[in-house]
């Protein structure tokens, strides 16, 4: 090729590449000509996920120090939202079928309809019995190491039909993960599904096979399983179904048995979650397992609960941030939380929802990709629960009257689940005063959802500020708001 022709060829290629890059590059986000729709839930009023106002942006290149602002930067993107939802346990299903048909439909719409309800997309259910079952049960007969008697008939009475109804109400799909509370009694060193105990080493493979049996049985019932956790609360000796693993024991069970068994059984695509317990030991557990490449290769993420508060301490969000920063290629997922010690007289206590708001904003800002509440429905006693461990749910059924009671937790959860959709990217968001807590996401359709929480007794005027444009509004005392930028 002659020199002149070569120069012309290279110039043409260069221009073509420049043109392609120019077309692909996006303009910086601008709030100009955009509006903000505000939805509010507020103490001392009847506002519950109520659309209250529409805001307009005005020029505000440099907010003064005296102005409270919530700053949002859509150009800085972080983790992708997996989903938000709750647990579909035996207790939920049994309570559901005690309701009149019209109330059953109301509940399904309230939770799973993305337009008329709060649009849950994530769910968890139990492998065998848990405390929120009417009694202990197993899928295999005693001493059946081969699992030849494996049978999920127990679940076909209430739980499986309910999960199918929930899936249908959600538009045909729920991202579902499953968790065991205990292996069968004969597999454990205390010969009891309750009171902790450990898995006997001679049953390691049999127990790994058990997960496979369960997943395939549920999928045969047309309930797809997205993922699984190794063990619910593996450091707790509970009066209910429980089984203990040290970090090293869980690591070795994943590395030598559960991980390889998922692979060999054609279930390598299932997302494996370790820990599934409180934030207090989160980093210690994650580092022990994930620093072993032979175990880490099977692990999708680390699950956590919020019950570290049983010690009298607060919620330990710092351990989440540390874990996320140390292991950025693994996912954080909130797998369970509820307010404990049920009291019917506290059903309208505003603190119930505020605990959710505080946790969710901090969890998402620390890098969490999915958030799963505990039971979505319980009865007027905070059950059924076969060991008396009664708890709050966002919605309670009074089975004496057939009525549904919505706590403010339901609405606080909805401020996230209704407006932040799977596939949304968390974007930079920060309030200029610590009296407001905030997080923000850009949804796949380009709309931005900003959640602003006020836990104080004060009314706070503030501006939503995006790249030189600001929209002014007010946060009422003890309120949560979602601001949708269209």
Residues 12/26, Cβ–Cβ less than 8 Å: no
Of residues 233, 241, 320, 354, which has the active-site annotation?
A: 233
Of residues 94, 250, 308, 336, which has the active-site annotation?
A: 336
268: region left, alpha or beta (phi > 0 left; psi from -120 to 50 alpha): alpha
Task: Establish whether 336 is a catalytic residue.
Answer: yes
Q: How far is CA 299 from CA 84, 226, 304, 343, in A?
A: 21, 14, 14, 38
Report the candidate in 263, 271, 324 with the shortest Cα–Cα distance to residue 300.
271
Q: Is the peptide bond before 384 cis (omega within 30 degrees of 0)?
A: yes
Instruction: Give the chain as a 3 state SS string.
Output: CCHHHHHHHHHHHHHHHHHHHHHHCCCCCCCCCCEEEEEEEECCCCCCCEEEEEEECEECCCCCCCCCEEEEEEEEEEEECCEEEEECCHHHHHHHCCCCHHHHHHHHHHHHCCCCCCCCCEEEEEECCCCCCCCCCCCCCCCCCCCCCCCCHHHHCCHHHHHHHHHHHCCCCCEEEEEECCCCHHHECCCCCECCCCECHHHHHHHHHHHHHHHHHHHHCCCCCCEEECCCCCCCCCCCECCCCCHHHHHHHHHHHHHHHHHHCCCCCCEEEEEEEEHHHHHHHHHHHHCCHHHHCCCCEEEEECHHHHHCCCCCHHHHHHHHHHCCCCEEEEEECCCECCCHHHCCCCHHHHHHHHHHHHHHHCCEEEEEEEECEEECCCCCCCCCCCECCCEEEECCCCEEEECHHHHHHHHHHCCCCCCCEEEEEEECCCCEEEEEEECCCCCEEEEEEECCCCCEEEEEEECCEEEEEEECCCEEEEEEEC
Task: Establish whether 221 is a catalytic residue.
Answer: no
Report the candidate in 451, 433, 431 with the shortest Cα–Cα distance to residue 441.
451
* 380 Cβ contact partners less than 8 Å away, ≥ 6 residues apart: 344, 396, 397, 398, 399, 400
> Which residues are known catalytic residues?
233, 336
């Amino acid at each position: 090729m002659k020199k002149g022709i070569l120069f012309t060829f290279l110039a043409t290629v260069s221009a073509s590449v420049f043109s392609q890059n120019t077309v692909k590059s996006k303009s910086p986000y601008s709030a100009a000509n955009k509006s903000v729709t505000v939805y509010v839930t507020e103490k001392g009023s009847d506002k519950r996920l109520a659309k209250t106002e529409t805001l307009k942006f005005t020029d505000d290149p440099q907010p003064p120090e005296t102005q409270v602002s919530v700053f949002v930067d859509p150009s800085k993107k972080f983790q992708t939202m997996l989903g938000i939802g709750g647990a579909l346990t035996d207790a939920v299903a049994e309570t559901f079928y005690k309701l009149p048909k019209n109330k059953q439909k109301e509940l399904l719409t309230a939770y799973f309809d993305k337009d008329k309800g709060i649009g849950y997309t994530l769910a968890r259910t139990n492998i065998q019995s848990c405390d929120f079952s009417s009694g202990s049960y197993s899928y295999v007969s005693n001493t059946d190491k081969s699992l030849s008697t494996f049978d999920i008939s127990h679940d076909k009475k209430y739980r499986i039909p309910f999960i199918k109804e929930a899936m249908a109400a959600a538009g045909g799909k729920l991202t579902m993960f499953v968790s065991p509370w205990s292996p069968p009694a004969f597999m454990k060193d205390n010969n009891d599904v309750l009171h902790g105990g450990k898995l006997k080493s001679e049953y390691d493979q049999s127990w790994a096979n058990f997960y496979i049996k369960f997943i395939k049985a549920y999928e045969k019932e047309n309930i797809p399983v997205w993922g699984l956790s190794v063990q619910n609360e593996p450091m707790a000796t509970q009066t209910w179904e429980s089984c203990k693993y040290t970090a090293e024991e869980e690591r070795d069970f994943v590395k030598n048995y559960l991980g390889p068994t998922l692979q060999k059984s054609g279930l390598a695509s299932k997302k494996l979650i370790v820990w599934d317990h409180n934030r207090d030991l989160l980093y210690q557990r994650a580092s022990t397992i994930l620093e072993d490449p032979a175990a880490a290769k099977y692990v999708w993420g680390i699950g956590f609960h919020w019950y570290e508060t049983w010690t009298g301490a607060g919620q330990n969000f710092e351990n989440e941030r540390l874990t996320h920063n140390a292991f950025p290629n693994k996912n954080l997922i909130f797998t369970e939380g509820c307010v404990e010690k049920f009291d019917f007289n506290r059903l309208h206590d505003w603190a119930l929802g505020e605990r959710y708001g505080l946790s969710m904003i901090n969890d998402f800002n620390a890098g969490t990709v999915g958030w799963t509440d505990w039971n979505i429905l319980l009865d007027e006693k905070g059950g059924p629960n076969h060991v008396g461990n009664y708890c709050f749910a966002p919605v309670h059924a009074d089975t004496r009257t057939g009525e549904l009671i919505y706590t403010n937790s339901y609405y606080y959860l909805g401020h996230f689940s209704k407006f932040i959709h799977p596939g949304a990217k968390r974007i930079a968001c920060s309030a200029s005063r610590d009296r407001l807590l905030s997080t923000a996401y850009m949804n796949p359709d380009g709309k931005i959802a900003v959640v602003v929480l006020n836990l104080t007794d004060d009314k706070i005027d503030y501006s939503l500020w995006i790249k030189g444009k600001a929209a002014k509004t007010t946060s009422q005392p003890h309120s949560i708001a979602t601001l949708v930028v269209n």
